[in-house]
Structures are given as C-alpha cells and as structure tokens.
Structure 1
C-alpha cells in the first residue's frame, strides 16, 4: 500500500450540496436506470445530498408515484454496491414521477405545480437541476418548454438556481452546435448549462492535473524535447446494441472523437493554468484547441484510417457484421473505428504526433493515454545484444483498472547484465482499498454546487466541431466507390483494420495494446 500523506486536508472531503431537487427527463431510459439513479443514491447514501432533496422522473409512460418508487427501490436493491444499505427506502420516498409529452406546454405547467408543492414539502428553496437524459433531437423542445412554462428562468444561477445537464452529442457538426448553443442561450445562460462528459468524472482523468502540476519531476519533461509521441485509445468490445438509429447517422468520430477523446487530449496537452478554477482551466483548453493543426481534407487517408466491423467472433461468441445489425442499411459505410494523427502547433508540442483511436467490437475494452518518451540517444547496451534504443512510457489507465504506470528498464537480478522492461504501477482500487464511485457522482454533485470545471464550455464545444466538421463533410460527399476504399473491414476481436497498424508503423511507431 502507498504511504499516504494528505497535504490538502481542508478540501479533501467532498462537500455537501445545498437543498435541491432534480428532474430527470428520460426517466425510463437506460442512462437513468444504470447511471443516474445509482449515482444520486450513492451521493445520498454518503451524505453528500441533504434531506432537503427530491427527485422527479419524467417520461411519456403513465405510472404512479408509488410505482416509480418501487422501480427506484428495485434498481438499487439489485445493485450489489447498495443492496444492503438501510437508506434505500428513505431515498425512494423522495422520488416522484410525472408523465407527459415533451412538447406539450400543459404537461410542463402540471410539472411546475407538482414541483412547487414538493419544494414546499422538502424545503428545497426552489433550487432545481434539470437532467436531459433524452435523445439530442429533443433538447431544444424540452428547453423551450421549460423556459416558456417558467420552470427554467434565464440567469437564475443562485438563490434559487435553475441548471440543466445535457449529454453528448452537442450537435452533429459546427453549424448545428452553434445553433443548439444559441437556442439554449435564449432560455438559460451558459453559467446554467452543464455539458456533461462522463470521462471527466473519472479519478484517473482528474489525476492528470495533479500528476503534471503537483510533481515537479514531470512538467519539465512534458514537451517536444523529451516526448516522442502520445497515444489515446478508447476501445470497446461491444457492438452498437440497439442504437442503430442514432449510430448510423453519427459514426464513431461524431460519437467519440469530438467529445471524449478531444477532452482527454486537452487534459494531457494544455499549458499549466494559473489555478484550477473553472475559467482558468477552460481558457487553457480553448487555447489548446485553437492550436490544433487543421486536418488535410484533400487527402483524408493522410490523417485518418476508418474501419467497420465484419462478421467474426469475440470470446468464442459469433457476432454480426455491422451491416447485419438490426436497422442498419446493408450498404452503410458508417465507420465503427477510426485512427487519426493530430499535431498541435504551439511551442510545447511542435512536431509531436498525437495518435487517437477508438472503435467497437475490438479485442477488449480499454481506455488509456500513453506518453511515449524519446529513446536513449545512443546504443550503449549494444554489446549485450540489444539492437534498439530504449524508451520510457507513462500510461494513464482509465479502464479497466484506473491508475498510472511507468514503464522503465532495469537490470534483472542474479544475471551478469541482463536488462528487462518493468512496470511501476499505481492502482486506485488497490492503493485506496475501495470500489471507485460512478463517473456521474462527481459531475452531478458539481452541478448541484455550481462548479463547471469538469464540463464543456460552449466555445470549446464549437471549436472541437470546427476542427472535425470539414473532415465529416468531405467523407459524406465521397462517392460510394471512394467510401468503399476509405472504410476498411476488420474482424471482431482484433485491434481494428490492418491499415491502422500501417498508419502508425509508417512513422516507425507501434500501437500500445495493453
């Protein structure tokens, strides 16, 4: 175990939210059942949410408050982390339900009456968070109805506060993201809008800032003089499930590159902010995004490899090809894999390539950032049969085991001079001895407390779309023959198309797959 010394005792404990209510639109969806309800209960169970709290789930299905409370209880009882908690019943009694059409103003007026009554009962002082766990196509309609009904008042960010949480995608290209932000701004200021990226709720991702700025040995070597390249991998072994309607119109780049991977890139590459306040941090991210070199849209294959999974097996289980998934067109060229190379044209990172990749039906579920340092300048160990210069790798492991590892070379004991590659590993779960909480825990609590540090700001969303949109438009306008050449088939259970290996190997580098 680590010899832990707490050096910031005053802020180590997660704060307690003020009195507050939360309305979840999309109460019957997977996100609510699998993520939001468990996260809210975990906060309540740990005392981070006060007794002055209630939840209203809203969806089209007609059920009673009592039925919804039973649903919430069942979700928590079936969760092995909470099954034995004596607080499940208390939490469920604070959960209520509203049935209505998302576009019917009368439904929102009824919801407002219900909220006013519950706010008096639970003394939440009119504070409310609206969580939009619904398809992105419904965002504008729900925000409009919230505004017109008086449930959401623009500029009301404290005493009482009205805030909204929206999930990706934040638009599908630059123009639509600008239009979405502009529409929302009619009913809520940007200080009231929390664009959530659940990767930012992970301890390892937040630890990047502490690792870089809290340890004087790393930041001096965090630049083009010492780092050869950086890899960011977010791989999944699952297919698209029942998301064909959304996914075939989006693809892996819209689904993952514009948000998750770009956010991870900014964490690794930004300049040190004056402090980690929300504006300082997000201003540095804006500078970084503006420094990214535009992609070559005249030759997409220079900067990208695209793929689509075929028939095959994963863990000895036969799986369908993407084009055979339910509701996917048989001639679809939507990418389920991408690999790209990004350059950042600033002083720190000039000439250092950032290799990003993400895909479905890959060999295993893996999320990590690897910092590959330059090789030793000479072959000092060539007399020992070592024919290549050696390098070090720092990896931020996001999934499956959150932590940090350092790969280095050392002499193997009881040998004359035999060199081996070793890993110095730090694991959150192993060192701190407890199950890590859901990514959504921190993020929902931050919203309740008015802290936007870990959330996308609208200008940064628009900048990331501005980078990617020319590529997406170019691909969409290709002929079928050109798309066939660009989108490579790959076997499930592999690490993507063979072209992705050649893509990095042409630069005399290799993907890190473990």
Structure 2
C-alpha cells in the first residue's frame, strides 16, 4: 500500500471540462493506487445549482474510461461535496469555510488544503483574496494553491496577477501547473542528460549544431476557438510548454535533484535567454494560420470559418522561431521551435542535431557529398522513447554510407500503465514537491521573451493569412527560417524516405 496522503481539495470550477476530463480521473487513479484512501475529501464549486447526488453522478461519469467497478466508483465519489458558489459573493465563502471545517473534522485532514483554480484567470485574484479574508486558509497543516494557465496575457498582466496572489500565498505555496512537465518523456530529459556521461559530455556548442522542438497537432482549434482567438499559438504553446522544454534541455546540471536546485538552474539559464529586439523578432519568428483542405475525403475549413473567430482574424495557429541562450555552453547553437494546429501529424518530440565530422572520407565512395548528421531524438508523444540516427556502411561492395536508426520505444502496455501527467502533478502537489511546477521568475522571463514577438507582429499584421494548407507542416517561411542557418527540420512527415 502506498503512503496515504491527507488533504482537502477545493476545486474552483468543479463543473468544468478540465475537472471532468483530467482532475477527477487523476484523483481516482491516486485513489486506486492507495495514495488517497480514507483521509481525503473534495469540494467542487461552480455557479450551477447542483446537489451532492447529482455531483456524484458527474464524478462517476468522468471515470467511465477507467472502467471502475460500481462499488469502488461509489466509495470514491462519496468523498466529493458540491457547493453552488459565486466567486464574488463573500457569503458563499463563509459557507465554504464552514463546510471545509466540517470535512476537516470528519476525515481527520489536519488542516491540509489544496486550492485548485480550474476556471477563468480573471477570478484568481478575487478568489485568493476571499480565501484569506474569510479565514479559509488554515493555521495548521499546509495551504497550497494550484493555478492553471494562462497565467496572464503578457508580462504586465502576469505580474499584476502574481502580486494579487502573493497577498495571500507565498511563492513556495504556489504551484503553477504546466502539464507538459508531468509527461513521462519530458521528465526523462534530465535522466538522459545527467545520467549518461556519453551524452552529457557532448551536450554543448562544440558538438551540437542545433536543437529542434516540435509540438504539432493534427486537429484544428475545435471547441477552443473562442479562447484561441484571444491567445494564439505563441501564448498558448510557446511561452509556456515549449519554453519549459527548452529550459530543461539548456540548463546546467543541478547540485542535487531537488526542487530548489533544479529551479535555480532553470532560472539561471532563462536569464541567459536572448530577448529579441523588435527587428530581430521579425526575422527570427514566423507565424501561420491554417487554410482549408480535403483530407481522406473530409473537407476541413479555414481557421477563420470557425465559430467565435473573426472573418479577418490575425490570430496565428502556427509559430516557428529561433531561441538563443547566450552563455558559455550554448553560444552559437540555435534552438528551433515550432508548434501548430492542423499539421500533418500529431507529435511532440525533440531532435538534437550534432555537428558533422570534420571531413567526409567516404565522399568518393558515395553519391552524397555530406554524411547525414547524427540526431538524438526524444519522442514525447504519441509514442515515448529515444532514437539515435547514425551513419553506417551500406550492404554490398564499396563504402557508400546511409543513415540508420537505433531506436527504443516504450511498449503500448508500459505507456498505458504510466501515470498521466495530471496524476503525477497532483501527487507532487500533495507531497509538496514543486520540481515540476513553474516558478514566478521562470514565468516572468518567458513572458518578456514572448512579449517582444507579439509586439513585432502587432506592428505588421499578417497580410497573407491563411498561409498554410491543413495537413501540411506549416508555411514555407518555417523551412526558410532554418535554411538561413544551413539547417532543415528533422521531423518532416512529407518526406516518406525518412522514418519519423
């Protein structure tokens, strides 16, 4: 039996999509594994006038994919309580305080509380202010605040939001969630770097030519169009998920594998992140918006045809760009990043492209003037694993070479049994482990970086949207961006001769 965790969860936005799709199934997995057992309770709050009985049915429905037996699902749901709640109404916080105190006594929770913000960020400041003023925060036990993105819309709004939250919670009580940091293979970045001397010794600008981070999605914006129209790919993916992956790839080895030491190294390397000028941003980042296409007989519309999207929308659904870390290890090594909707294939991966050997002695024996570069690939999703592309002699006479892949992928069974990202992160929060959460100093620097790009784009609205076809890998400008540095994207599903 696992070490049982003791806490009251108060979920603001308990009727929402995030709670149903991610939070309740993740809590149930922790319950199945014994991390949550007898001494936990959950209060879900939202404006809807639900009863506890109706709420329990919602909880059970959210577990359908996990196929629990009825008795276990019922026992789990019995720990859940619902409160119809207007976050601006002080009296509702008094009711919440009394319910929390009752549950604390009933389940012997020792004053341990986790407050989860699963609703619109515009209410975060109001909520945390009332948590303090209405004395819902406890003196005994722990008080931890979990916050979903988006954390602000730019640096200034993020700074203001952080100041509001810090009036009630200290930095070590705040857990800003980035679910990519809970993914198995993102967490494996540290293991492959710092656990293998053969890799760590080559992990610098002497041997690495460039690093490529791809987060491609095959779906469009779908039901998220309203949110996406206010965010775009830069704020939705680059400022947070991609920047966090880049930070893990670029940071120096920590003194120990502790939250504090890892955070210190992440903050230090982000301070070396080059903040573009407006003119540099125009050169170093390209944007796109998907257009219509027919794929497998299905007609896919333009982004601008989606509900809640302006017919002349200038919101980007694709971003590609170059990040640079100005320090001793990475000077001169571009980190190429890209993300987009309606691309050829769903994939999240990192490709580390190594420099060529000084001289190709096999040139005369082959039709190729250059050897293929060595590439270390970290597959994050949908498959999980590692790949190393090396050069080998082709079978037969002569010494013509060809690239071969040394490949390891986790089995489907192992992947299915692996903890889901939210499950990992909820358990980390219960343990008080902030290793895989974002510190304010990290967030502030990535917003400073993203803001300049947004300002550059605001000066020159895109005149050619839509500029890539659904099912492609984005606009041609994304390829041209790398070509200027003598590079090309390793991951290209449009090249069938390369196994991606």
- How big is each residue's C-alpha offset from its partner over 1:288-311, in whole Å with a ceiling of 9 and x where there is no partner? 111011213125331111111112
Match of 1:33 among 20, 23, 26: 20
Q: Distance in 1 between matches of 2:251 and 2:4?
A: 30
State the partner residue of 1:141: 126
1:419 offset after TM fit, Å? 3.2
Task: Give matches, 1:55-74, under 5 Å.
Answer: 55-74=42-61
Match of 1:194 among 163, 175, 179: 175
State the partner residue of 2:454: 472
State the partner residue of 2:86: 101
State the partner residue of 1:18: 5
Contact map agreement 1:244 1:328 (CA 8 A) in 2: yes
Give the 3-state SS of the residue equivalent to 1:410 in structure 2.
strand
Q: Distance in 1 between matches of 2:257 and 2:244?
A: 16
Cα 1:19/1:396, change in 2 over 3 Å: same
Q: Distance in 2 between matches of 1:192 and 1:372?
A: 39
- How big is each residue's C-alpha offset from its partner over 1:465-499, in whole Å with a ceiling of 9 and x where there is no partner? 112212212322x2xxx313475621111101111
Contact map agreement 1:35 1:440 (CA 8 A) in 2: yes
Q: Is 1:118 paired with 2:87?
A: no
State the partner residue of 1:240: 221
1:363 offset after TM fit, Å? 1.0
Cα 1:474/1:434, change in 2 over 3 Å: closer
State the partner residue of 2:200: 219
Q: Is 1:250 paired with 2:231?
A: yes
1:449 offset after TM fit, Å? 1.1
State the partner residue of 2:471: 493
Q: Distance in 2 between matches of 1:389 and 1:276?
A: 38
Q: Is 1:411 paired with 2:383?
A: no
Q: Is 1:511 paired with 2:481?
A: no
Q: Is 1:88 paired with 2:88?
A: no
Q: State the aligned residue count.
A: 491
Q: Is 1:429 paired with 2:411?
A: yes
Structure 2 runs not aligned, ≥5 long: 492-499
Give the 3-state SS of the residue equivalent to 2:198 in structure 1.
coil
State the partner residue of 1:462: 444
Cα 1:254/1:433, change in 2 over 3 Å: closer
Task: Give matches, 1:278-427, under 5 Å.
Answer: 278-385=259-366, 386-413=368-395, 417-427=399-409
Q: Distance in 1 between matches of 2:413 and 2:394?
A: 26
TM-score, reference length from structure 1: 0.91
1:460 offset after TM fit, Å? 1.2
Cα 1:170/1:51, change in 2 over 3 Å: same
1:212 offset after TM fit, Å? 0.9
State the partner residue of 2:495: none
State the partner residue of 1:129: 114
Greater mean deviation of Cα atoms: 466-475 or 125-134: 466-475
Give the 3-state SS of the residue equivalent to 2:9 in structure 1.
strand
Cα 1:366/1:208, change in 2 over 3 Å: same
- How big is each residue's C-alpha offset from its partner over 1:118-148, in whole Å with a ceiling of 9 and x where there is no partner? 1211111121111111121221122222222
Contact map agreement 2:365 2:398 (CA 8 A) in 1: no
Contact map agreement 1:23 1:131 (CA 8 A) in 2: yes
Q: Distance in 2 between matches of 1:257 and 1:484?
A: 19
Cα 1:54/1:429, change in 2 over 3 Å: farther
Give the 3-state SS of the residue equivalent to 1:176 in structure 2.
helix
Give the 3-state SS of the residue equivalent to 1:187 in structure 2.
coil
